[in-house]
Amino acid sequence: MANSKYEYVKCFEAEDEVMYPNIIVVQIGSFSEKPNDENGLNLMNVCAIKVLENFSDVIFAYGFSDEYSFILKKETTFYQRRASKIQSIIVSFFSSTYVTKWKEFFSQKELSVPPSSHSRVISCASMEVLQAYLLWRQTECHISNQYNTCLWKLVFSGKSEKEAKEILKGTQKQEQNELLFQQFGINYKDLPQIFRQGSCAIKIKVDDIVKYRENGTPVKRPRKKAIIVHSENIATKWFWNNYSCLTEELGSLTEGINKIKPEYLRSFLFESRLMLSTWIVVRIDGCHFHRFCEDNGFQKPNDEQALKLMNSCAASLLEMFKDIVFAYGVSDEYSFVLKKDTLLYQRRSSEIVSAVVSLFSSMYVMKWKEFFPEKEFKEPPYFDGRSVCYPSSKILRDYLAWRQVDCHINNQYNTCFWLLVKSGKSRTEAQSSLKGTQTQEKNELLAQFGIDYNGLPIIFRMGSSVFLDRDEATGNDRVVVEHCNIIETSFWKEHPRILDEGESLTAP
């Protein structure tokens, strides 16, 4: 990032490393519309497979209903083991894939609302804790599936949902089994495994044929392939020992355990509540977006349609999250400012970040065709995210000024860089030519190509600001996207409602 007098704001960023040897589990949830929709569960499973294929450090996953838990290998250094980065990347990639794969499972049904999810990190201190966690989740699968099966059978038979819940109130496993068998002729154990047991996404070793010798015999190379399996009890030594990757990357399980206390497991949640009476900023950044831009033929140094797609997604988030009062975006990055007194998700960082990044990712895929009707992306885009608290409006404005200064510097550099490349220089030569140059020198270089930097589109030079503004014709608020100077105080004086807390708007 560019150097500027505003960089001091980085000191407010807190690290959230999950220390080794804790085992990192990322739990995501709230995707499917209803439990026990087999197409919906299969869609979730395909997304889980894609996560394992895309991220080599994720070696195992367990899912049921509307949730999935992803387990990273014990010695992972994925994103320096930072909880916010890991959970946001996984939930973002899962969300993008979910939207991308939707039509394969619901060809006759439009995805009208972009899916979003909450995610959190569970830091398992030992294999015993991980074993207890898996038992807890699969036990929850059994209990919730049996209850929901009874509930919906009663509803489909003519009961109201309220009446069905009243009938099931206080019933135990045996009573629910008897209800299913006596009233509906259903043996619970005959229901599909995917409902009763949940699904495991796991990597196995297979041999791929890479070529054939002259005599026709195949040359094979081992690789890891992600598959879906179902098992009655995944928290047993027997199940674990069937898959070598689990024992190699995590370790062995003890003999089976029978009882767990959710309260014990909740103590391992890697959770933090953000400080009260502070501005919360959620900053998201595209992951491997240089590759994504090249794969999709984005124009260099700036693709206006791609920027407008980002802006459209940001505007949608302001419409859906009323606690977001301002957003600033440049390139593949966006910062969302939540109002100072927000109690969104009780100010739990993991829920706020995951909800913002997953919804933005889903929206990006859903809106893609509006901006690129002729293009199909090869791989789903995804983002990482983090939350930072700023105690005053002045420091918040300095943060936003830092991002806009970064926009100016990076855009000027990239404009020069790609002009040099397009003029015939290699990328290495272009970097060498620009090394150590200052603003004036870059402007002089641009002038040699007949370009006045200040004449370039303002969206490239100043980035995009998204906020609520009053429509004078109707008197109603509307979300607007503007490209303006947010470093000077004049913008904030013109729009005092954004930082409505009674502080004076003095110059930084």
pLDDT tens digits for range 142-174: 999 999 999 999 999 999 999 999 999 999 999
What is the C-alpha separation between 89 and 357, in angstroms, rounded?
8
Burial of 55 (0-12, 13-18, 19+ CB in 10 A): middle
Give the list of residues 6+ apart from residue 177 with CB closer than 8 angstroms, or none.
146, 188
What is the C-alpha separation between 199 and 5, in angstroms, rounded?
52
Interior angle at CA 61, CA 15 and CA 125, nearest 5? 50
pLDDT of residue 258: 67
Read off the amino acid at residue 164. A
Q: What would the two tokens of residue 51 be?
A: 């996560």
Question: pLDDT tens digits, the chain, 508 residues: what are they?
Answer: 446 789 999 999 988 899 999 999 999 987 654 557 899 999 999 999 999 999 999 999 999 999 999 999 999 999 999 999 999 999 999 999 999 999 999 998 998 888 888 899 999 989 989 999 999 999 999 999 999 999 999 999 999 999 999 999 999 999 999 999 999 999 999 999 999 999 999 998 887 777 778 787 877 787 889 999 999 999 999 899 899 889 999 998 877 676 666 667 777 776 788 999 999 999 999 999 999 999 999 999 999 999 999 999 999 999 999 999 999 999 999 999 999 999 999 999 999 999 999 999 999 999 999 999 999 988 999 999 999 999 999 999 999 999 999 999 999 999 999 999 999 899 999 999 999 889 899 999 999 999 999 999 999 999 999 999 887 777 788 999 999 999 999 999 999 989 874 444 444 4
Please give the model's pTM, rounded to 2 decimal places.
0.92
Q: How far does the chain reach from its first CA to its final CA, in angstroms?
A: 20
